C-alpha cells in the first residue's frame, strides 16, 4: 500500500483536497488564493481565501505548514514541535475549554516533519506584539485563558496517557546543548544586553542541573510558549485566542504564568509591581474552576518559572532561521525575564 503524500505548501493543495478536509461537497470550491501571515520562525502560516460555489463554507481558513528553512525543520523534528501541535488539536483541543482556533484538519507523517494543519481564521482578531509588549488588561485576560487550560487536567492521571505530552528526551537535549548555545547567544547579544544579564546567564548555565532535575509536586498540561506573540486579541470584545501549540506539554501552571508576565510586560518596574497580584488572580481563577492551589507553592513555581522565557529565547534564537525582527524579539524575550529572575532572586532556588 502506497502511503498518502501530505501536501505541505498551498501550491500543493488542490480544490478537491480542501473540499474533502473541510467536509464540503465535491466541486463546490471554485478556487482559492494563499497569502503568507505571521512571523513564526518554526513553521509557515498562510491565510487561504476560498471561493465557494453553492456551498456555505468558511470564507477564509489558516493553513500551517513546515518551515522552508532546513534548520527550523530539523529542530522541529528533534524536539517534536510539529507532532505536539497536531496532537493537541487531535486529542485535547476539543475538550479543554481554553480558547483556541477550531481545527478542520490535522495530519503528520511518520518523519514528524511533513504535516498539514487547517484552522479556523480568527480575523479580525490580531496577534499581540512581542516587541511592544502587553497591557495589564491583556495579561489579565490571557491569565483567565491559562486557568482554563490548566485546571481540567491539574495533577490528573490522564497526563500519562498521551505519549506525545512526555518530554521524550527534551530535558536531556537542553542539558547537552545549553552550554554551547548560551555561549553563542552571549556572543550575539554581548552589546545588546546588560552585563548583569550575561552574568546571570552564566550562573544559570552552571546551575542547569538544578533547573532541569526539579520534579514539581503537581503537574498539568501547559502551553510552554505562553506569550503575547502567541495570543490573538479581538479588536471589539478583547477576547483572547491562544495559538501556536507547538510547545504544549506537562509542567507547572505557574511556569506558564511567569513566562507570560516575564516576557510580555515591557517595563520591569511595572512587571515587579503587578506580578504578585496577577498570580493571586490566577489562583482565584483556578479556584473558580475547581482547583485549590497552594499559594506558597504557586509563588515558588512562579519564581522558578521565570527561567522558562529565558531558556526559550536562548534555545530558539540559536536554532531557527535568523531575521532582523527575530533577533530583536529573542533579545527582548531574554531581557525581560532576565530582569524578572534577578528581581525574584530565582537563582537561589536552583
Mean pLDDT of 180-194: 94
d(CA 122, CA 241): 8
Average pLDDT, the chain: 93
Q: Where are the domains of the chain?
A: 10-120, 126-349
Task: Write down the pTM of the prediction.
Answer: 0.93
* CB of 164 closer than 8 Å to CB of 89: no
d(CA 245, CA 343): 29
pLDDT in tens, 296-327: 999 999 999 999 999 999 988 887 777 777 88
CATH number of 126-349: 3.90.1200.10
pLDDT in tens, 61-103: 999 999 988 888 888 898 899 999 999 999 999 999 999 999 9
Of 141, 142, 167, the residue nearest 248 (C-alpha) = 167
Confidence tier at 54 by pLDDT (50, 70, 90): confident
Q: Which of 4-8, 44-48, 61-65, 333-337 has the lowest mean pLDDT?
A: 4-8
pLDDT in tens, 201-231: 999 999 999 999 999 999 999 999 999 999 9
Helix (H) or strand (E) holding 88: none
What pLDDT sits at residue 2? 43
Burial class (CB in 10 A: 0-12, 13-18, 19+), 1: exposed
Tally of CA atoms within 13 A in the half-sphere of 196 that contains its CB: 10
How many other CB atoms are found less than 10 A from the CB of residue 341?
25
Strands (E), 67-135: 103-108, 115-120, 126-127
d(CA 260, CA 222): 12
Torsion angle of the four alpha carbons 239, 245, 249, 254, in this order, in degrees rounded to the nearest 10: -30
Mean pLDDT of 331-342: 96
d(CA 282, CA 280): 5
Pick the CATH number of 10-120 from 3.40.50.620, 3.30.200.20, 3.40.50.720, 3.30.420.40: 3.30.200.20
Handedness of CA 224, 71, 132, 36 (dihedral sign): negative
Radius of gyration of the chain (CA): 20
Amino acid at each position: 500500500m502506497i502511503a498518502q503524500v501530505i501536501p505541505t505548501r498551498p501550491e500543493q493543495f488542490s480544490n478537491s483536497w480542501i473540499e474533502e478536509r473541510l467536509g464540503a461537497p465535491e466541486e463546490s470550491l471554485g478556487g482559492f488564493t494563499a497569502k503568507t501571515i505571521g512571523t513564526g520562525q518554526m513553521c509557515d502560516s498562510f491565510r487561504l481565501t476560498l471561493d465557494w460555489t453553492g456551498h456555505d463554507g468558511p470564507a477564509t481558513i489558516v493553513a500551517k505548514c513546515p518551515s522552508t528553512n532546513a534548520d527550523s525543520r530539523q529542530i522541529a523534528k528533534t524536539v517534536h514541535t510539529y507532532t505536539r501541535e497536531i496532537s493537541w488539536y487531535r486529542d485535547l483541543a476539543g475538550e479543554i475549554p481554553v480558547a483556541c482556533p477550531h481545527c478542520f484538519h490535522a495530519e503528520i507523517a511518520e518523519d514528524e516533519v511533513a504535516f498539514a494543519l487547517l484552522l479556523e481564521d480568527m480575523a479580525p482578531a490580531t496577534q499581540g506584539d512581542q516587541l511592544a509588549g502587553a497591557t495589564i488588561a491583556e495579561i489579565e485576560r490571557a491569565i483567565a485563558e491559562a486557568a482554563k487550560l490548566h485546571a481540567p487536567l491539574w495533577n490528573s492521571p490522564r497526563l500519562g496517557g498521551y505519549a506525545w505530552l512526555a518530554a521524550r528526551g527534551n530535558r536531556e537535549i537542553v542539558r547537552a546543548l545549553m552550554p554551547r548555545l548560551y555561549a553563542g547567544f552571549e556572543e550575539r547579544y554581548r552589546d545588546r544586553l546588560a552585563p548583569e544579564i550575561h552574568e546571570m546567564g552564566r550562573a544559570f548555565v552552571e546551575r542547569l542541573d538544578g533547573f532541569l532535575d526539579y520534579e514539581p509536586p503537581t503537574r498539568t498540561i501547559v502551553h510552554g510558549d505562553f506569550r503575547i506573540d502567541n495570543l490573538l486579541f479581538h479588536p471589539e470584545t478583547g477576547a483572547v485566542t491562544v495559538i501556536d501549540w507547538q510547545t504544549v506539554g506537562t509542567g507547572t501552571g505557574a511556569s506558564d504564568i511567569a513566562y507570560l508576565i516575564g516576557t510580555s510586560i515591557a517595563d520591569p518596574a511595572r512587571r515587579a509591581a503587578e506580578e504578585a497580584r496577577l498570580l493571586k488572580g490566577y489562583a482565584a481563577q483556578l479556584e473558580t474552576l475547581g482547583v485549590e492551589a497552594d499559594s506558597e507553592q504557586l509563588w515558588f513555581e512562579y519564581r522558578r518559572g521565570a527561567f522558562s522565557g529565558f531558556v526559550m529565547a536562548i534555545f530558539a534564537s540559536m536554532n531557527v532561521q535568523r531575521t532582523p525582527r527575530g533577533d530583536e524579539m529573542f533579545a527582548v524575550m531574554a531581557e525581560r525575564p532576565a530582569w524578572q529572575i534577578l528581581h525574584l532572586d530565582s537563582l537561589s532556588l536552583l
